[in-house]
Structure formats: structure tokens, C-alpha cells
Structure 1
Amino acid sequence: MWREGNSHFCEWMNEYAKLLGELDRMTKRMVFESYGVDMERCDCFIESSNYLLRCLKYRAPQMDEEIFGLQSHTDLTLISVVHQLNNLNGLEIKLKDGEWTGVDASPSMFVVMAGDALNVWSNGKIRPCEHRVIMNAKQTRYSTGLFSFYSKVMEIPEELVNEQHPLRYKPTFGHYDYLSFLDKEKIKEFYPRIQAYCGI
């Protein structure tokens, strides 16, 4: 991008990623606390998280192109933190009733979404957020996404399994194994792919 590098940009992006990582960690603490899961395990869970920061560019569609910048999907992550930049709307989230709602773009707003792996960790209590990007604007749209993954073998907390909520998935989950599995199997829809990998 820059022939001679751009150390200021790299430093700025590193600090930005640290702030988004703190938001991710705060969200995980809130989830553990709200479900009554031992907070000591939360610290270990957070320490075992890896992050991927992506800068995303959606060009304006041409006259004969679809308006979908990104088709409907759930993320394969634990948690995704999305920041819509340059005040262009486009992110839409599917509600429980099946309706789609837009998320207003704001430089000060971050969208935190559960991914497939958090659904497994929660024994199905936390549903991954189905979302898409619609490109209605006539200009390029920019956003960033911080995606968190679990580096160890994940176990469903015993606090989330009982008679009312029996175990829905195999008791252990390898996040990176799940990604490798999907790379081979190419299953796009959330529920079939989770069931195929670790369903009981």
C-alpha cells in the first residue's frame, strides 16, 4: 500500500485493535456473569482468545449488480465487533420474527454480535446473529471487524446444562477444527453446519 511503509498508520491500527479487544473482553465478562458461570474460568477463557482485525471495503454496485455487499450469514467466531465507517448505512440484522432491521452507521457506535462458537459455548442459549450488508449508496462503504476465536478446546460450562436445557452439543469444541471442517464441507447455513460438526 505504501512503498516506504507507514508506521503511524500501523501504530494507530494497533491501538484501535487493542480498544476493540477490550470491548470484546468486557462483553465476555458480561456474558459469564449474566449466566452465573465462574468468573475465574472467564479469565482463562479471555486469555485463550485470538483476534483477527479486518478492514472491509464494499464498492458501490454497478447498474446491473445486486445490492448485496455481503449475503445473509452468521460469523464463525465467538464474538464479532463491527464498526461502520464513513457514515454509510448498510449493515442489517435479522430479528427473532424474521424481519430485517438496519443498523445506523455512527463513528461512535460499535455493533457486537455473537458467532457460532458462542452458541456452542452457551449450549444453544445465545443464538448467533444473522446479518448482511446492503449497498444502496452510490459510493464505497468502509467498515472494520474484530473477530475473536478460541485457541484451546472449549468446554460447555456445567452451569448451562440442566434438565430444562440438556446438552445440545458434544461437551468439547475445537474452534479451529470447526473452521477446518467447514473449509472442507462448505455448509453455509448456521444450524446444519453446527449440527454436522458437533451436534448430539
Structure 2
Amino acid sequence: MAMLVSSWSKDVYSLPETYVFPPDQRAGDLIPLACNNPIIDLNKAVDNHGRSETIQQILKAGREFGFFQVINHGTSQTLMNEAMEVLKEFFDMPAEVKERVFKVDSSKKCRLYTSTLNYDTEEVHFWRDNLTHPCHPLEDCLQLWPENPPRYREVLGKYSVEVSKLVLRILDLICEGLGLENGYFADELSQVQLLSVNQYPRCPDPSLAMGMHRHCDPNVVTILKQGDIDGLQVFKDGQWISVEPLPNAFVVIIGCQLQIISNDKLKSAEHRVVTNSEVDRTTIGYFIIPSYECFVEPAKNLIDDCNPPIYKASQYKEFLGTYAEKIGEYEAVMECYKLQ
């Protein structure tokens, strides 16, 4: 556990060689484009007219950007702040305290590690630590979670319940917009729900390091609380754009399975994470994931003679194998599942 970057990085003034990425994989010194990030006000979806308008905005953002931010979503600002505070407390704990509870072991449901689970075989490491654990059903998961800080289970339990409700509400709006039956994403398509917390410590040379490489998310959808610090970037029209941090907003990222189900009416967002030299950055991701045995294919309601299926049906566990083999590279992964 001593290798957690958050445990030793404060004493480092130059970037270790094992964290220096090749030039073609770095963010470099280029400033990404600022753009009008799509922002969805969920409070407007309370009446029929506003709901229809909100749904169209979501579909447009999902098609053109692969992500959008939601505001006025109903999740308590106090709860969001408390969750972020507790997680910062967690990563500030001494390494030996964390080591007593967690091991770097991919077979464990609650995992704490640095860079990726493939740390020992990586040629270069990401400047991040990650804590991941299941959240659904909550009563079956709580005993797997950290016991420290003392508020962890209480606060993150409440947070997980509220965020799960929110993301499933957003999926219901997408269902309505696509013409799918209500609850299409219930059961198998959302059977696995994970909390994934990333800690990106301040970095001595952000131009050489990466928090996370360019990738797509293999799941159905990701909802991210990114705090108030820049770092998330999305690839659009051949250029990187910054996802501007908005107070109390969530970023919703379309995953590969949602692209397949929508038959390309929605697109998965390629994204990456850059570091900074000024402050630590903590983000809270919540993943909606199919069961590993689930077969995923374009929704039958979206297929007709004029709109043939673009993707073949496949088990999610097979897709994950391909995703790992292609290291999350968007075009390479999706090409493997296209019908010829």
C-alpha cells in the first residue's frame, strides 16, 4: 500500500521516470478548447412541455458530445459536499491505516490501488489512486466498505442511494426519447452499480503525466461528481475540450453499451484526465453496468428496414475482454462489434 501515489507525492518535486508518458500520449502544454458544454436543467422536466424539451436536449447532447451536465437534479448539495469531504479524509489517512484494511487485489470487491490493477506490468503509471466498491443492493454491500473515516458508510451510503435514483431517472428520460418501454434499463442492464473514487494528487509536472489515458467507458452510463477543479477532457471533432466544473452539477457520460442499445443514436464519449500542479483533485464516479452474463444488442424498437442493426449481440463479459485487449480505445473496441 506504500506505493499509493497520494501517500508519497507531497514529498516529490520532480516527476518520477515511471510516470512520464511518451510524447504522443501526453496532454502536453496545450490548453484544451473551451466550449459551451451541454447543460441540462432537470427541474424543467416537471411538466409535459418541459419534459419533452429536456429529453430532446439530452438526446442531442448524447448524440453530438457523448456527455452532458445536469443541474437542479434534486440531489442534496449538503450530501454531495459531505461525500466529497469524507473521501478526501479517506485519502488523507496514513498509508498504514489504509493498508490494514485493503489489499491490492483484483479479486476483492472493494479495491484500493494506484494507477490501474495492472500496476506491476505497466510500462508507465497514471498519476492517480482509485477506490472502487459495489453499491447495489446497498444492504449487501455496506459490510465490504471502508470502516474509516467513521462517517464513510453512512454518508456514502446515502450518496449512493440518491445518485442511483438520479441516474436511473435520466435513463428513463432517454428511454422515453428513444421510444423504448419504461424501465428498459432495469434489472440486468443495471444489475451492477459501482462507486469509483479517483484521487489525483497535485503533480510536479502535469505536461508529462496523465491522470487517465484516452478511453471510452465500457458500461451503460457513468455519472460523475468532479468537484470544482478542471481535469476532465472529452475528444470531439478532432480536438480536446474541457468539461467545465459547475457547482453542484453531475457529468453524465454515455457508455459503450448505451451506444450499442441506441444503435448509434447516442455516442460514447472518448475522454481523458489531466493533472495539475496546484491542488489535489477528487472525483466520484458512479457506474451503471450490465450483469456479466447479459446479452446486449440494439433495442428491437429501434430496428426496421430503414434502420438495420449496426452492432451484433454479445455478452457483456465478452465485451469487457475485448475492451481490456484494446486498452479502452474507442474506435478499436466498437469496430469489433459492428456488423459487416
Aligning the two structures, in what range does the TM-score lie when normalised by the shorter sequence? 0.7 to 0.9
What residue is the counterpart of 2:214 in the other structure? 72
- Which residue identity lines up with residue 179 of structure 2 in the other structure? G
SS in 1 for 2:186: helix
**Per the alignment, in what secondary structure is the counterpart of residue 27 of structure 1?**
helix
CA–CA distance in 2 between the matches of 1:22 and 1:61? 35
Structure 1 match to 2:169: 26
The answer to whether the aligner puts 1:38 opposite 2:186 as a matched pair is no
Q: Does the Cα contact within 8 Å between 2:217 and 2:328 map onto a contact in 1? A: no
- Greater mean alpha carbon deviation, residues 1-10 or residues 20-29: 1-10
Deviation at 1:144, TM superposition (A): 0.7
Q: 1:64 to 1:76 in 2, by over 3 A?
A: closer
Instruction: Determine if the alignment matches structure 1 residue 199 to structure 2 residue 338.
Output: yes
**Residue aligning to 1:15:** 158
- One-letter amino acid of the counterpart of residue 23, structure 1: L
2:320 alignment counterpart: 179
**TM superposition shift of 1:150:** 0.9
Conserved in 2, the CA contact under 8 Å of 1:93 and 1:103?
yes
Q: How does 1:133-148 map to 2 (within 5 A)?
A: 133-148=273-288
- Go from structure 1 to structure 2 and tell me whether the alpha carbon gap of 1:137 and 1:84 turns closer, same or farther (over 3 Å shift): farther
**Does structure 1 conserve the Cα–Cα contact (< 8 Å) formed by 2:232 and 2:272?**
yes
- State the match for 1:94 in structure 2: 235
The CA deviation at 1:136 is: 3.2
Deviation at 1:64, TM superposition (A): 7.8
Measure how far apart 1:34 and its partner are.
0.2
For 2:338 and 2:205, the matched residues in 1 are separated by: 43
SS of the equivalent of 1:68 reads coil
Of 148-157 and 47-56, the range deviating more from structure 2: 148-157
**Equivalence map 1:93-172=2 (5 Å):** 93-95=234-236, 97-151=237-291, 152-170=294-312, 172=313
Shift of 1:187: 4.5
Q: CA deviation at 1:128?
A: 0.1
* Amino acid in structure 1 at the alignment position of 2:338: G
Cα deviation digits, residues 16-59 of structure 1 (max 9, x gap) = 111111121012101110011122x52xx222211110111112
| Residues 215, 329 of structure 2: 8 Å contact kept | yes
Write the deviation string for residues 112-133 of structure 1: whole angstroms up to 9, x where unpaired.
0101111111112211011111
Displacement after TM superposition at 1:65 (Å): 5.7
Q: Is the 8 A contact 1:83 1:107 kept in 2?
A: no
CA apart distance, 1:67:
4.5
Structure 2: how far apart are the matches of 1:113 and 1:105? 14
Q: 1:181 and 1:189, CA in 2 relative to 1: closer, same or farther beyond 3 A? A: closer
Indicate which of 221, 225, 230 corresponds to 1:83.
225
Given that 2:206 and 2:275 are in contact with CA atoms closer than 8 Å, whether structure 1 keeps it comes out as: no
Contact 2:199 2:282 in 1 (8 A): yes
Structure (1/2) with the larger strand percentage: 1
Tell me how far apart the structure 2 counterparts of residues 168 and 25 of structure 1 sit (CA, whole Å). 25
> In structure 1, what is the Cα distance between the partners aligned to 2:302 and 2:261?
9
TM-score (norm 1): 0.85
Deviates more, 1:130-139 or 1:22-31: 130-139
Q: What is the percentage of aligned positions where both structures have the same residue?
A: 26
CA distance in 2, matches of 1:106, 1:163: 43
Q: Deviation per CA, 1:126-167, whole angstroms, max 9, x where unpaired?
A: 110111112234221110101111112234222211233211
What root-mean-square deviation, in Å, do the aligned CA atoms of Structure 1 and Structure 2 show? 2.2
Name structure 2 gaps, 5 residues minimum. 1-96, 101-146
Relative CO higher for 1 or 2, CA cutoff 8 Å, sep ≥ 6?
1
Alignment-mate amino acid for residue 196 of structure 2: R
Distance 1:127 1:81 in 2: 15
Displacement of 1:63? 3.4
* Structure 1 unaligned residues grouped into runs of 5+: none
Aligned length: 192
